[in-house]
Structure 1
Amino acid sequence: MIRRYLSMLLVGIVVFSHSYLAQAGAIDEAVRRGVLKVGTTPTYVPFEMTDKRGRIIGFEIDLLREMSKALGVKLKLVSVAYTELVPGLMASQFDMIGSGMTVTQERNLQLNFSDSFIIVGQTVLIHPRLAGLVDGIEDLNEAGYRIVATDGTTGEAAAKRFLGTAQLRSFPTAEEAVRQVVEGRADAFIHDAPYNLIAITRPENSQLLALEQPFTYEPLAFGLKKGDYDSLNWINHFLNQIAQDGTYDRLHDKWFKNMDWLGEID
């Protein structure tokens, strides 16, 4: 009887252990593994981008490096196309998404999001021939205008929402879409304000005009699998901590006030 009881107890412990491991969240797994794996698309200046040496750098990347340091683990960035971020997370190719992702109701049905680490909005870059003709987003909602955006982004969604009458084409990267406007094959580009403000400082885009007033409200956050509340709790406390100790302000100034890093990218 005692032997049977001990055997059942051992089975129960094994089942509990497997159940615990199955429920372990992304942060727990990263600590166990010693590596935090983050899915990102390094084409969103200045949040995540590739420098001349092939390294992924940026404001959000620095936040992730601070996060990894606080966890005591290494950071591994997994570069995928933007449209592959959610499928990649669901397939456990990485622990979380850190890629300038806007919290939307649609995405929130698939993911859990951390607290926002910055608020952005959509703005418009237009071809110089539209000077004096276009003063706001509503002026572009005509059948004759050609609008470009980036695949899978909230810029694409905003263009569909606000510019349903215009012609819309989407491209894999923001750089390709902007080039369409520069070369006169499109009239306007819709994308997040930080990217657009920096894009027009580049020599090849210097002739473009910017409608700088954002016409949407978009919080950016880290994405995790549904139900991973322990990881969300840790990340939210981490974001609060770096906001209080000055780390966030230091990194924000590095990427949004000091433009020295522009020389590091192509």
Structure 2
Amino acid sequence: MINKKLGLTSLLTVGLLLTACTTSDNKETEKVSEDTKEDTSWSSVEEEGVLTVGTSGTYAPITFLNEENELTGFEVELVRELGEELGVEVEFETMQFDGLLPALRNGQIDVAANDFAITEERKEIFDFVDSHKYSYGSAIIRTEDDGKFESAYDLKGAKIGLGSLTSNYATFAENIGGETTAYDAGVDTILRDILNGNQDAYLNDRLVLQRNVEEFGDDGLMVDEDVKYHSSESALAVLKGNTELRDKLSEALGTLKDEGRVSELSEEFLGADSTQPVDQSEVVSLEAE
């Protein structure tokens, strides 16, 4: 009996060892398979002849519908020129800003284009084409409040309107200790609420804000030149690992930069050349430090 038990125990031990080895081998095989997986992100686009790009269409002057109800804007036209440079057709899918990166992650789109700032958190999941826009955040305030906010730090406790609670501007507002409200009815609603005192400021990219003020056309609003935060680099986003597609887009972008087309588009839609890094000496970090 003793020998039989020992034999059974030995067999069980060997079985467990074999199972452990098999599991380990499977994991190693899976890892090797992942590491050696062929990147067809560009070749698939090239073969199909279509680059599918997600954008909101509600973030002027980056992406918006013009008076003819046609999609346009700085990044929209930039992507169209990239497609022309690469010899593929560009098809846009419009969706809410908060749905763009999830759509990229699940393969619904090839590229997300909506003034996405490159952050360490986003880089864990996505890759970015070379930067095409450098800027920083600012605020639209009432003209009568000019001088009230001597720096971005003075936004602490202010009533702040936002376009999205998932944007970097929302992150900064939270970090600085602002009282935030998200709007889904468009920028004009936020600006009217600033004028009537329901909000103290609207946070966003300074170049975008300047165009917002100009188009709204009310002297009671201004962009606060003393409020500078979140120095940013914006780029087109692709899914992490889609290196082939990222590099092709970066190569085409480099050509457009050399030809001066990116600067021209920036001047046309943003009112300034945003292709060069900004002076960060007075810019507060995203963490409000």
Q: Unaligned regions of 5+ residues in structure 1, if any?
A: 1-18, 259-266
Q: Unaligned regions of 5+ residues in structure 2, if any?
A: 1-33, 273-289
Q: Is this contact kept in 2: 1:27–1:36, CA < 8 A?
A: no
* Alignment counterpart, residue 93 of structure 1, candidates 82, 85, 108: 108
* Alignment counterpart, residue 175 of structure 2, candidates 141, 156, 161: 161
Partner amino acid for 1:64? V
Q: Which structure would you say has the larger Rg?
A: 2
Offset of residue 27 of structure 1:
2.7
Q: Distance in 1 between matches of 2:222 and 2:142?
A: 6
Show the 5 A alignment for 1:35-46: 35-46=50-61
Offset of residue 24 of structure 1:
4.3
Q: Distance in 2 between matches of 1:212 and 1:28?
A: 46
Deviations 1:186-207 (A, max 9, x none): 1111111111111111345431
Deviations 1:217-261 (A, max 9, x none): 110001111111111111111111111122223322322349xxx
Q: Is this contact kept in 2: 1:199–1:205, CA < 8 A?
A: no
* Alignment counterpart, residue 177 of structure 1, candidates 167, 187, 190: 190
Offset of residue 39 of structure 1:
0.4
Find the counterpart in structure 2 of residue 16 from structure 1: none
Deviations 1:138-174 (A, max 9, x none): 22213xx311112122111111122x1x311122344
SS of residue in 2 equivalent to 1:107: helix
Q: Distance in 1 between matches of 2:216 and 2:265?
A: 26
SS of residue in 2 equivalent to 1:53: coil
Offset of residue 129 of structure 1:
4.5
TM-score calculated relative to the size of structure 1: 0.81
Q: Is this contact kept in 1: 2:58–2:64, CA < 8 A?
A: yes
Offset of residue 125 of structure 1:
1.0
Per mean C-alpha deviation after superposition, the further-off stretch among 79-88 and 180-189 is 180-189
Change (3 A) 1:56 1:25: farther
Percentage of identical aligned residues: 21
Find the counterpart in structure 2 of residue 225 from structure 1: 239
Q: Distance in 2 between matches of 1:250 and 1:208?
A: 28
Q: Is this contact kept in 2: 1:26–1:96, CA < 8 A?
A: no
Q: Is this contact kept in 2: 1:182–1:205, CA < 8 A?
A: no
* Alignment counterpart, residue 67 of structure 2, candidates 52, 73, 96: 52
- Is 1:30 the counterpart of 2:30? The answer is no
Taking only aligned residues, the RMSD between alpha carbons, in angstroms, comes to 2.1
Q: Is this contact kept in 2: 1:135–1:211, CA < 8 A?
A: no
Q: Distance in 1 between matches of 2:45 and 2:259?
A: 24
Offset of residue 118 of structure 1:
0.8
Partner amino acid for 1:127? R
Change (3 A) 1:130 1:80: same
- Is 1:68 the counterpart of 2:83? The answer is yes
